[in-house]
Amino acid sequence: MTEQKAKTWRQSDEGEQQNAETIWIGNYGTTFPLDALPPAARDAAATVADVHNVPVEMPALCALATLSGAMGRTWAFTGAAKDGQETHGNLYAAIGAPIGTGKGTAAIMARPLVEFSQQRAKHFREFTQPDLRALKGRLESELKGIRSRFANPKRRENSGRSAAEDEQRQVELEQELARIERELPPPRAMVEDCTSQKLIEICGRNPDGAAFVYSVEGGEVLRIAAGRYRGDSKADCEIWLKGFSCEPIQQDRMMRSVDAHPCLAALLLVQPSVMRETYGNREFLERGFCARLLPVVCDIPPQLDEGHDRQLDRAALERWGTLIADVAERRPVNPGAIPLPVQFDHRARVSFREYHNETVELRRQVPDIQEQLGRARELAIRIGAVLAVGDDPDIPLGIIGAEVAERAIQIARWCVAQQLTILHAGRAERQLERLERLVRLIDKAGGTLTLRDAAKSHSYPEAEIRALCAAWPAALVIEERTHEHGGRPSKVVMRAP
């Protein structure tokens, strides 16, 4: 379909024409609810935004993601939605901002977690790695002796060991050496840029399986997830999908075997063009990768330097660093540790249910992109978990109330507004692609297509078809037709006359 044809299809009586690019946002505001953050995060974000002259949502979202990354899999949260459903506080934040507009300010918010990761790795290298290397040397020496006895029978006679005993011991040594080799690299609480396979391996080495992916040049991370190193042009985002839901990954391949239970959090800062590229990736959209993101594109005009000597609030940043260190230090150091149980109370559950119903009404108004809002309640619950830990890492009585839930919903509403704004940029183009395909299906079916067949056989729900008819009234119409032999009438979609 040519651009001219699309324009022709848009032509209709002025009273009937509807603007397909209008998205109702209602109470979903454009100002980030800074007061909803924990006090330490709020104060740190406020001083960074003021001194570096950037929108407050940039350091605020950085704070939320960094706190999420510090949590790892230390806590398990239940009671917010379905009975028995467990979730964690890991979040994916993606911030789009132009070159030279202060993306580096994210480093201030993430610095405490970066330092924690470095200190834990240093401690491992100083106190754990030497013992592992010493044990490895002893086992390798023993294995060398066994192999020499296989090569020289006289040595076996002198050793007094049978071949069967040596064979069994050789297998044990090789297995133990393989385990040590896996454990030799230091744990990494933070990752910047690596392939999906390497990310799985890093999660597998960490005691709680958790990792924080942080990059101020996150475009490469997203392009790797989009399949940069795959030969079949398909996305390579399985680790991101399963790492969000904390589902196990097991890969058995010719040259390697990986068994991990990842729990990923992320803070990625990218150019706005990369954000558009991400939300224009059909596989990302269809597999739910974009639905898991907390995105924002900061429109920052060039700023004059007015010569004001603003100073960061060092006390606020110190409180922020103390909070992140306190949270991160609670992460387990031994594999297999059971997460601490935390429960949302009934009032919090009601708040999340009401928010879910609110977003359902919103999704009905944007049927072509409604799936991208399908995780709205889940994201609000995760935000609530992060806020509760940020308020008090001890979480008194292990219960989270409605006040935290309402604050989380404020932030979630703001995030939904940002997501809709980004989706809106490519919405008309995606609608046009769906329209072209539907017209081809109609022509192939002989000029009409029942709404039932469109939904059942071609993945076109009735709500989407009606939205396409409203957006392009000169292209499509829906009619109700009766049958010669009676029965229920059928609704069909066809080209407009």
pTM: 0.82
- pLDDT of 252 reads 60
CA-only gyration radius of the chain, Å: 28
Stretch 425-442: mean pLDDT, rounded?
84
Please check the confidence at residue 424 and state whether its pLDDT lies above 60. yes
> Which three-class secondary structure state does DSSP give residue 203?
helix
**H or E element at residue 293:** strand 293-297
- pLDDT of 251 reads 65
Distance, CA of 176 to CA of 293 (rounded, Å): 40
Distance, CA of 306 to CA of 62 (rounded, Å): 26
Stretch 404-423: mean pLDDT, rounded?
93
Banded pLDDT at 253 (limits 50, 70, 90): low
Residue 281 CA: distances (Å) to CA of 221, 235, 447: 14, 9, 31
Least confident of 334-343, 406-415, 423-432: 423-432
Q: Determine what percent of the chain falls in helix, strand and coil, rounding each to the nearest 5.
A: 55, 10, 30
Condensed to tens digits (0 to 9), the pLDDT of residues 294-306 reads 999 987 777 777 7
Partners of 342 in beta bridges: 77
Banded pLDDT at 284 (limits 50, 70, 90): very high
Stretch 90-96: mean pLDDT, rounded?
96
Distance, CA of 38 to CA of 454 (rounded, Å): 48
Among residues 16, 15, 28, which one has the least CA distance to residue 359?
A: 28
Q: 357: which 2 tokens?
A: 């119903």
Distance, CA of 56 to CA of 58 (rounded, Å): 5
Distance, CA of 313 to CA of 15 (rounded, Å): 56
| CB-based burial, 46-64: b 16+ in 10 Å, e otherwise | bbbbbbbbbbbbbbbbbbb
Please check the confidence at residue 76 and state whether its pLDDT lies above 80. yes
Averaged pLDDT score across all residues of the chain: 87
Stretch 201-206: mean pLDDT, rounded?
88
CB neighbour list of residue 279: distance below 8 Å, 6 or more residues apart: 285, 290, 295, 422, 423, 425, 426
Stretch 325-346: mean pLDDT, rounded?
92
**H or E element at residue 211:** strand 210-215
Q: 230: which 2 tokens?
A: 């795959």
Distance, CA of 225 to CA of 91 (rounded, Å): 16
Burial of 141 (0-12, 13-18, 19+ CB in 10 A): exposed
394: number of Cβ within 10 Å? 11
Within 13 Å and on the Cβ side, how many CA atoms surround 86? 11
Please check the confidence at residue 257 and state whether its pLDDT lies above 90. no
Burial of 36 (0-12, 13-18, 19+ CB in 10 A): buried
CB neighbour list of residue 307: distance below 8 Å, 6 or more residues apart: none
- pLDDT of 410 reads 96
Distance, CA of 406 to CA of 411 (rounded, Å): 9
CATH architecture designation of domain 34-121+187-428: 3-Layer(aba) Sandwich (3.40)
Burial of 35 (0-12, 13-18, 19+ CB in 10 A): exposed
Please check the confidence at residue 15 and state whether its pLDDT lies above 50. no
Condensed to tens digits (0 to 9), the pLDDT of residues 119-156 reads 988 988 999 899 999 999 999 999 998 898 888 877 77
Stretch 380-396: mean pLDDT, rounded?
97
Q: Which amino acid is at 312?
A: L
Q: Which amino acid is at 278?
A: T
The strands making up 340-344's β-sheet, listed across from edge to edge, are: 75-78, 340-344, 399-400
Distance, CA of 72 to CA of 89 (rounded, Å): 8
- The percent of residues in the chain predicted with pLDDT above 90, rounded, is 55
- Cβ atoms 283, 234 nearer than 8 A: yes
Tokens 């009273």, residue? 15
Most distant CA pair in the chain, distance = 102
Own/partner pairs, 346-349, CB within 8 angstroms, 24+ separation: 346/79, 347/401, 347/402, 347/405, 348/79, 348/80, 348/384, 348/400, 348/401, 348/402, 348/404, 348/405, 349/79, 349/80, 349/81
DSSP string, 224-291: HHTTTT-SSS----HHHHHHHHT--EEEE-SS-EEEE--EEEEEEEE-HHHHHHHHT-HHHHHHTTGG
- pLDDT of 381 reads 98
Condensed to tens digits (0 to 9), the pLDDT of residues 205-239 reads 888 999 999 999 999 999 999 987 776 778 889 99
Domain ranges of the chain: 3-17+429-495, 34-121+187-428
Banded pLDDT at 11 (limits 50, 70, 90): very low
- The percent of residues in the chain predicted with pLDDT above 70, rounded, is 92
Please check the confidence at residue 81 and state whether its pLDDT lies above 70. yes
Q: Parallel, antiparallel, or unpaired for β 490-495 and 476-481? A: antiparallel
Stretch 391-397: mean pLDDT, rounded?
93
Distance, CA of 87 to CA of 94 (rounded, Å): 21
Banded pLDDT at 259 (limits 50, 70, 90): low
Banded pLDDT at 174 (limits 50, 70, 90): very high
Partners of 249 in beta bridges: 260
Q: Does residue 464 or residue 492 have the better pLDDT?
A: 492
Please check the confidence at residue 18 and state whether its pLDDT lies above 50. no
Distance, CA of 421 to CA of 433 (rounded, Å): 20
CB neighbour list of residue 418: distance below 8 Å, 6 or more residues apart: 294, 295, 296, 297
